Structure 1
Amino acid sequence: MKNNIYIQLKNIYKLHKKYHFSKQIESNWLKFKNLFKNKQYDDNNNFFLKYINNNILKNNQKFSIDINKFKKFLLKIDAVMLCFINGKIDKNFSNINNSYYEISIKKHNTTNFKNTFFKNNIYTYLSESLTKEFIFININNKKYIKPLYLVYFNENNKNNKNNEIFISNYRNFIYINNIYPIVLIEHHINTKQIYFNNIYNTLVLGNNSQLEYYKFTTSKNHSKNYCIINNEFYLYKNVYFKKYDLLMSNKYIEQNNNFQFVDKKSKLIYKSISFAKNNNFIKLNNYVEHNAKNCYSTQTHKAITLNNAIINLIGLLKINKYAIKTNGQINYNSLLLSKFSKINIQPGLDILNNNVKCTHGVCTGKLDYNQIFFLRMRGISFKKAHQILLMSFILDSLKEINYNNLKKVFLKKISRYLSVENFFNDF
């Protein structure tokens, strides 16, 4: 199985390097090859290999897009939009030339960033070696700036075979040097075609910058697509960073986040909600490292599983010896809505100085039927009581979203996904 997948990826790489070859790309491919064939890496990698076994991997190609179909998925917001379709940014749908963001597209990576945290991650090397375009986005100091709306969409030939998986690789760099608030929205649109999106993002938040970053998926299909996202964030002096994730609707989702506090007095607020049902799988791995004093980070992760779904939540908060007066928190809350679903939670603290305040908490269980009984005694039906408790578990993670249009979208997607009738109107 493993050799078969490697041969397929090798053939894709051979075709890719005819048009996009560089020494850096070749170096990343060799790192991928060595890591992929390393037996010690099998335990971390086998789960995904099991999902794509007996399928044919193909490099994504450009097909004509149904504009009306595409627009139905988009948010109705006033924003600068960048559309990534089938492995490349689409210039027809994207606002590349605008007065708010400096956007450049290059065939090769011209930065000096070294892959340190993700050095044992095959997908970052795969992204670096198979990406068709490297995207660089600069946000300089402006008082008013529109939100940046990143859309990932895939469209393939209708005659594709059921066992074909089309792979798209992306590598993006975003540099923020703006003292006024920035809103970044990342939207993954899942279609009926089977595809595998592999995305690697680097965000550098300069001194005094403010960012609200929203990531979510939408789909009418919950069992076909694969998405792996690797994010690295560098927080410099006096940064205020709020991140919200809504993960659902894929057969396989893996997201790895690396937050680095580079300078002092920065603040991170990170909230995520993960949903998995049927045989879907979600893995969320967060690493937060404090390297400067007087910084604050708080994480709240919630998960709900149905049927035979699995969610793995892994987190490590590391505070180095120079990061005095750090305040760090990690909280995990999860609901199991069926007997055969699983949620695995693994929080960790690595504290190397005494002048800090750190906490972590984990709570896993099912809905309390005593509370359902309490509501039923007050004339509320069983179904409605179940829905009230389910949505109340989620609402506190959404109440701090300042972008009201997104808050409404999140509520609608959640209520549809969980089949919670009339929730949006009632609340």
Structure 2
Amino acid sequence: MKNNIYKQIKNIYKLHKKCHFSKKSEFNWLKLENILKNKLYDNNKKNFLKYINNNLLINNQNLLININKLKKFLFKIDAIIICFINGKINKNISNINNLYYNINIKKYNTCNFKDINSQQNIYTYLSESLTKEIVTIHIHDKKKINIMPLYLVYFNINNEKNKIFMSNYRNYIYLNNKHPLIFIEHHININQLYLNNIYNTLILNNDSQLEYYKFITNENKNKNYCIINNEFYIHNNVFFKKHDFLMSNKNIEQNNNFKFIGKKSKLIYKSISLAKNNNFINLNNYVEHNRQNCCSIQIHKAITLDNSIINSIGLLKINKNAIKTDGQINYSSLLLSKSSKINIQPRLDILNHDVKCTHSVFTGKLDYNQIFFLRMRGISFKKAYNILLISFILDSLKEIKNNDLKKKILKKILFYLSIENFFHEF
């Protein structure tokens, strides 16, 4: 199986390099080739081989897309839309030419960011070597106060069975605006079978303010794989809020690498992960503080049903020069069935004494004493169960400022968990 996959990817790269060759893509291909040939197995390689199995791997194809069908899944918000379909930006839907963002698309992977030092893996090498469009995004006018939100949509479609359509993306986003910005990243999964592999580098320059919302929604039962590697470089006086809402495909893997390279910056990162059936979510969060007077607050919540598994690994590293750091990690999770699993591994690596760092972990099930309490007040068992379940994640939704967006994501969560919308009664 391993040799078969290696041959498939090698043939894909040979075709790819005819139109998209660069020294950087060749360098990353050699790294990828070495990993595939090596007999040693890490978790990334093991999972990748497991995904592909004996299916035929295809590096994204241009298929006819029903635009009206796609628009039904989009959030109806006033924003600049960039729509990625099967590995490329669809210019019929996307607002490439706009007043707010300079969006540059290149065929060749020649963009280098000098401070990149995060750990690479099989998926980052896939993105660097096989991406057909390298996308960079800048702010047009640094002094403009009211900049429209940026809505990034990833939509994939596959009409053939026993073939995995692989879409690779490599994006660079540079922020240098002192006024608040909103980014919304939406992954839409509607049918089978594909592997969506995304590698993002986001640079938040001095005095940037950003709210970043990520939604991975599961519209139907499917067997898709979503792999996301994110790098965030945080400079001076940055305020960065990140919200993730992950509703599992067959498999979601997300690696976040936050690096504080400036002073007096703050990160607030909240996530909600939901998994059911036999699905799997693997989350790795690495936060590194290198300068003084910075703050990072992480609040992660997870719910598993059926035979699903969620793995959540977090490392908070405080280096010697990062005095007066405030670092917090909080994990809370609910197991709603005996066969579901949640594995949590928080770690602190603190190399100086002038810091304030805390971490906490809670894993359990719904308290049936509380259900009994609600039932004694005339509330049915089902509604009491639902009230406790949704109240577990409600505080993570409160800080979404856009009420329409908040209602839509709550509706999707309720649908995913098969819970009725009863909040109007209270």
Q: What TM-score do the two structures reach when normalised by structure 2?
A: 0.97
Indicate the larger mover: 222-231 or 292-301. 222-231
SS in 2 for 1:10: helix
**1:401, 1:407 within 8 Å by CA — same for their partners in 2?**
yes
Q: 2:145 aligns with which of 143, 148, 155?
A: 143
Write out per-residue CA displacement over residues 87-107 of structure 1, whole angstroms, 9 at most, x where no aligned residue. Answer: 001111110000000111111
User: By how many angstroms is 1:50 displaced?
Assistant: 2.2
| Matched residue, 2:216 | 217
SS in 1 for 2:165: strand
Structure 1 residue identity aligned to 2:233: Y
**Correspondences of 1:375-390 after superposition (within 5 Å):** 375-390=374-389
User: By how many angstroms is 1:155 displaced?
Assistant: 2.5
User: By how many angstroms is 1:3 displaced?
Assistant: 2.0
| Matched residue, 1:344 | 343
| Matched residue, 1:366 | 365
**2:22, 2:110 within 8 Å by CA — same for their partners in 1?**
no
SS in 1 for 2:233: strand
Gaps of 5+ in 2: none
Identity score, percent: 73
User: By how many angstroms is 1:48 displaced?
Assistant: 3.9
**1:223, 1:280 within 8 Å by CA — same for their partners in 2?**
no
SS in 2 for 1:169: strand
| Matched residue, 1:172 | 171
SS in 1 for 2:400: coil
SS in 2 for 1:65: coil
Write out per-residue CA displacement over residues 282-331 of structure 1, whole angstroms, 9 at most, x where no aligned residue. Answer: 01100000000000000000010111101000000000000000000000
Q: Report the CA distance shift for 1:410/1:66 in structure 2 as closer, same or farther (over 3 A).
A: same
Provide the rounded CA distance (Å) in 1 between the counterparts of 2:4 and 2:170: 26
User: By how many angstroms is 1:367 displaced?
Assistant: 0.7
| Matched residue, 1:288 | 287
Q: Does 1:313 align with 2:312?
A: yes
**2:268, 2:297 within 8 Å by CA — same for their partners in 1?**
yes
Provide the rounded CA distance (Å) in 1 between the counterparts of 2:103 and 2:233: 20
Provide the rounded CA distance (Å) in 2 between the counterparts of 1:335 and 1:237: 37
| Matched residue, 1:123 | 123
SS in 2 for 1:212: strand
Structure 2 residue identity aligned to 1:205: L
| Matched residue, 1:268 | 267
Gaps of 5+ in 1: none
Provide the rounded CA distance (Å) in 2 between the counterparts of 1:103 and 1:368: 50
Write out per-residue CA displacement over residues 175-202 of structure 1, whole angstroms, 9 at most, x where no aligned residue. Answer: 0000000000000011213111000000
User: By how many angstroms is 1:395 displaced?
Assistant: 0.3
User: By how many angstroms is 1:45 displaced?
Assistant: 2.7
User: By how many angstroms is 1:424 displaced?
Assistant: 5.2
Structure 1 residue identity aligned to 2:119: F
User: By how many angstroms is 1:154 displaced?
Assistant: 1.4
| Matched residue, 2:231 | 232
User: By how many angstroms is 1:44 displaced?
Assistant: 4.2
Provide the rounded CA distance (Å) in 2 between the counterparts of 1:341 and 1:74: 31
User: By how many angstroms is 1:213 displaced?
Assistant: 0.3
Q: Report the CA distance shift for 1:44/1:98 in structure 2 as closer, same or farther (over 3 A).
A: closer
Provide the rounded CA distance (Å) in 1 between the counterparts of 2:287 and 2:297: 10
SS in 2 for 1:361: strand
User: By how many angstroms is 1:402 displaced?
Assistant: 1.6
| Matched residue, 1:153 | 155
SS in 1 for 2:353: coil
Q: What TM-score do the two structures reach when normalised by structure 1?
A: 0.96
**Correspondences of 1:71-90 after superposition (within 5 Å):** 71-90=71-90
**Correspondences of 1:402-421 after superposition (within 5 Å):** 402-421=401-420
Provide the rounded CA distance (Å) in 2 between the counterparts of 1:12 and 1:255: 25
Q: Report the CA distance shift for 1:299/1:228 in structure 2 as closer, same or farther (over 3 A).
A: same
The runs of 4+ residues in structure 1 deviating greater than 6 Å are none
Write out per-residue CA displacement over residues 125-151 of structure 1, whole angstroms, 9 at most, x where no aligned residue. Answer: 100000001001001411110000000
SS in 2 for 1:29: helix
Indicate the larger mover: 385-394 or 14-23. 14-23
